[in-house]
A = this chain, B = another copy of it.
Amino acid sequence: MRDVAIIGIGQTPVDEHWDKSLKELAGTAIFNALNDAQRETADALFIGNMLSGILSKQENLGALISDWIGLPGIEAHKVEAACSSGAAAFRAGLLAVSSEDVDSALVVGVEKMTESLPIETTEALATAADADYESAQGLSFVAINALVMQLYLHTYGWKHTDFAPFSINAHANAIHNPYARLHENISKKDYISARMIAEPINLLDASPTGDGAAAVFLIPADSLLPDNKKIIQVVGSASATDSIAIHNRKDPLWLSAAEISANKAYQQAGIKPQDIDFFELHDAFSIMSVLSLEACGFSKRGQAPKLGLDDQILINGRIPISTRGGLKARGHPVGATGVYQIIEAVQQLRGEAESTQVTDAEIGMTQNIGGSGATIITHILRSV
């Protein structure tokens, strides 16, 4: 097993791209990544996507996109793990390069969600939950997360307003990210008065959907690197699952797949949580930020809201999160999100994060969640 480095990143803004098809979005991100890597081709292409079959009536994205980017012939296929499809595709590319089967790999996460009716998108997203025991009972995805948040507030005695710092931080950071979906600061008052979606989750607890694509270029770490680029190496990578239906878990407030995959990744990297300089976590809903921070060892159980209230999640805090806006404000084009997270970590490690740069960032972690904690994939990157 050989070490793998990321030498190219490329993305589109997350937005309502009504003038661009799925393959055009993917192509734009890929060409940007190829340019950044100073390469013209790759041996293989791995695609993270969740909804193309349902919303765009298009599967076989491997052939579709490799053809569109002018590389028909290369190996290509799609990887699906609900909202963690992006990280799952990244991990597939990583294993392909580390196995020595290929010497270079492109990974693209792409999703097109805004061209369908909102009810269609909501129905499509519900396929991440248990079709028989959750979706069929009328539980939408936000409803499942609302049940979890209610239980959390009840169990640990927090108030809804205690979650405000997570949204405020994400929006503040997204202002400086030209690829983010939302560019507006929000106040605590905005958070408190936002429209309710599924109690206690309101509009500012929830991440927006969007169209977007993000791509990275992978090579063996000992290969020739482009000039003037820091080497960004993948030092930890692990994926784990949990019961797909929340009611089957012993403790619905504990992301056991986050704990398993993070611990594996820490062990591979030879580090502990306190060595992580920033954490691009999966803040699809603010409750998910809290549960991730706890399961990954950044807070005691039931105490993560304190990290927000104490300003520890800000860029200059103990564990900066959502440094480029996170899912909450960069946006959450589901199958692409995991690759956006990797790109944002690379920006931090290269020192290219400008106004939201974490000082001396050397080790960053990303975590992508599929379903309500059912599939969780953790990566640790390091500049060497």
A226 at the B interface (CB under 8 A):
no
Measured CA separation A84–B76 after assembly (Å): 11
B99 touching A95, Cβ below 8 Å: yes
A160 at the B interface (CB under 8 A):
no
A63 touching B241, Cβ below 8 Å: yes
A311 at the B interface (CB under 8 A):
no
B63 touching A243, Cβ below 8 Å: yes
Choose one: B60, B130, B256, B260; the contact of A370 (CB below 8 Å).
Answer: B60
A72 at the B interface (CB under 8 A):
yes
Q: Which of A35-59 contact B (CB under 8 A)?
A: 44, 50-51, 53-54, 56-59
B99 touching A1, Cβ below 8 Å: yes
A333 at the B interface (CB under 8 A):
no
Least CB separation from A131: chain B residue: B58
A77 touching B1, Cβ below 8 Å: no
Chain B residues in 8 Å Cβ range of A255: none
Measured CA separation A132–B77 after assembly (Å): 19
A187 at the B interface (CB under 8 A):
no
Nearest chain B CB to A337 CB, angstrom units: 14
The count of identical subunits is 2
Least CB separation from A124: chain B residue: B53
Least CB separation from A132: chain B residue: B21
Query: In this complex, which of A1, A72, A92 has the most chain B Cβ atoms within 10 angstroms of its Cβ?
Result: A72
Chain B residues in 8 Å Cβ range of A245: 67
A71-88 interface code vs B (CB 8 A; 1 in, 0 out): 011111111111011001
B96 touching A56, Cβ below 8 Å: no
Least CB separation from A76: chain B residue: B241
A223 at the B interface (CB under 8 A):
no
Chain B residues in 8 Å Cβ range of A51: 53
A296 at the B interface (CB under 8 A):
no
A-B contact pairs, 17 of them (CB 8 A): A1-B101, A51-B53, A60-B127, A60-B244, A60-B374, A60-B375, A62-B370, A63-B81, A63-B244, A63-B375, A66-B241, A73-B260, A74-B240, A75-B240, A77-B79, A78-B80, A79-B79
- Interface residues, chain A, with chain B CB atoms under 8 Å away: 1, 21, 44, 50-51, 53-54, 56-64, 66-67, 72-82, 84-85, 88, 92, 95-96, 98-101, 123-124, 126-132, 135, 237-245, 248, 256-257, 260, 370-371, 374-375
11 A-B pairs besides A63-B81, A67-B374 with CB distance below 8 A are A56-B131, A60-B127, A60-B371, A62-B375, A63-B82, A74-B241, A76-B375, A77-B81, A77-B375, A78-B81, A79-B92
